Chain A
Amino acid sequence: MTTPDQQTEDQDYVTLVSGDGFEFVLARSTACISKTLSMMFDPLSKFSEALTGRCVLENISGEVLEKVCEYLCYNEKNKNQTNVPDMDIPPELCLELLMAADYLDV
Chain B
Amino acid sequence: MDPTLDPPLPPPPRRLHHRASPTRRHHHHHHHNHNHNHNHHYRLTLTARSRGDDRSSQPSSDPAFFSSDDVPGSGGLENYTGSAAAAAAAAATGASGSLAGSRKRRYRGTWWGEKMMSSGGHQPLGNEGPKRNKRVDFREKRLVDSGVWMGSDDSAAGGFLGSDASWGEEVWGHSHGQGQRATVLGGLRRGIEEEPREHQIARAIVNDCLERGDDSVDLSGGNLRSIPSGLLRPLQHLTKLPAITEPPVTEDGYASLEPFLRLFLAGNALPTLCGELFELDTLRVLSLRNNKLTAIPPAIRRLTMLQEVNLSVNRLRTLPWELLWLIRKGDLKHLTVRPNPLLQIDDGDQDPDEAAVVAEWHVPRELRACVYDGPAPEEAWAPVHVATGPVRRYNAEGVLLPAELQQHQQQPTAMELDATVTADATPQDVDVMPPPAASRVPSLRECALLSLARSPAFDLLHDAELAGYPALMLRLLRDAREVRAAGGRSCSVCHRGFVLARTEWIEWWDCSTYENGLKGPRPSGESLRPLPFRRLGCSWGCVPGAEV
Contact residue among B442, B450, B451, B457 (Cβ-Cβ distance under 8 Å from A84): B442
Interface-lining segment among B182-190, B468-476, B514-522: B468-476
Q: Is A86 an interface residue (CB 8 A)?
A: yes
- Name which of B442, B448, B497 has the most chain A CB atoms within 10 A of its CB: B448
Q: Is A46 an interface residue (CB 8 A)?
A: no
Interface-lining segment among A3-11, A14-22, A49-57, A90-98: A90-98
Whole-angstrom CA separation of A15 from B436 in the bound complex: 24
Secondary structure of the A contact surface, majority rule: helix
A54-92 contacts to B, CB under 8 A, are 68, 71, 74-75, 78-84, 86-92
Residues of A within 8 A of B457 (CB): 91-92
Are A102's CB and B440's CB within 8 A? no
Contact pattern, B 334-366, Cβ under 8 Å of A = 1, otherwise 0 = 000000000000000000000000000000000
Contact residue among B441, B448, B452, B496 (Cβ-Cβ distance under 8 Å from A74): B441
Contact pattern, B 363-399, Cβ under 8 Å of A = 1, otherwise 0 = 0000000000000000000000000000000001000
Q: Is B328 an interface residue (CB 8 A)?
A: no
- The answer to whether residues A91 and B441 also contact, given A99-B473, A102-B473 and a CB cut-off of 8 A, is no
- The answer to whether residues A82 and B548 also contact, given A74-B441, A101-B448, A106-B443 and a CB cut-off of 8 A, is yes
Whole-angstrom CA separation of A87 from B444 in the bound complex: 9
Contact residue among B396, B440, B445 (Cβ-Cβ distance under 8 Å from A78): B440
| Nearest residue, chain A, Cβ from B447 | A87
Whole-angstrom CA separation of A89 from B457 in the bound complex: 13
B421-447 contacts to A, CB under 8 A, are 439-445, 447
Whole-angstrom CA separation of A74 from B548 in the bound complex: 20
B175-232 contacts to A, CB under 8 A, are none
Are A98's CB and B494's CB within 8 A? no
- Name which of A78, A84, A92 has the most chain B CB atoms within 10 A of its CB: A84
Are A79's CB and B441's CB within 8 A? yes
Q: Is B449 an interface residue (CB 8 A)?
A: yes
Contact residue among B447, B539, B541 (Cβ-Cβ distance under 8 Å from A71): B447
- The answer to whether residues A91 and B458 also contact, given A82-B440, A84-B441 and a CB cut-off of 8 A, is yes
Q: Is B152 an interface residue (CB 8 A)?
A: no
Whole-angstrom CA separation of A95 from B548 in the bound complex: 32
Contact residue among B448, B455, B539, B548 (Cβ-Cβ distance under 8 Å from A98): B448
Are B496's CB and A84's CB within 8 A? yes
Q: In the assembled complex, how far is the CB of residue B351 from the closest CB belonging to chain A, in whole angstroms?
A: 39
- Name which of B444, B447, B473 has the most chain A CB atoms within 10 A of its CB: B444
Residues of A within 8 A of B472 (CB): 102
Residues of A within 8 A of B541 (CB): 82
Q: In the assembled complex, how far is the CB of residue A99 from the closest CB belonging to chain B, in whole angstroms?
A: 7
Chain A to chain B: the 5 pairs with minimum beta-carbon distance, closest first? A91-B455, A89-B451, A101-B444, A94-B452, A97-B448
A selection of 15 A-B contacts at a CB cut-off of 8 Å is A71-B447, A75-B439, A84-B442, A86-B496, A87-B447, A91-B455, A91-B457, A93-B448, A95-B448, A97-B444, A100-B444, A101-B443, A101-B445, A102-B472, A106-B443
Binding site for A on B (CB under 8 A): 396, 439-445, 447-452, 455, 457-458, 469-470, 472-473, 476-477, 494, 496-497, 539, 541, 548
Q: A90-B451, A91-B457, A98-B448 are in contact. List 4 more A-B contacts (CB 8 A).
A: A79-B441, A82-B548, A87-B442, A99-B469
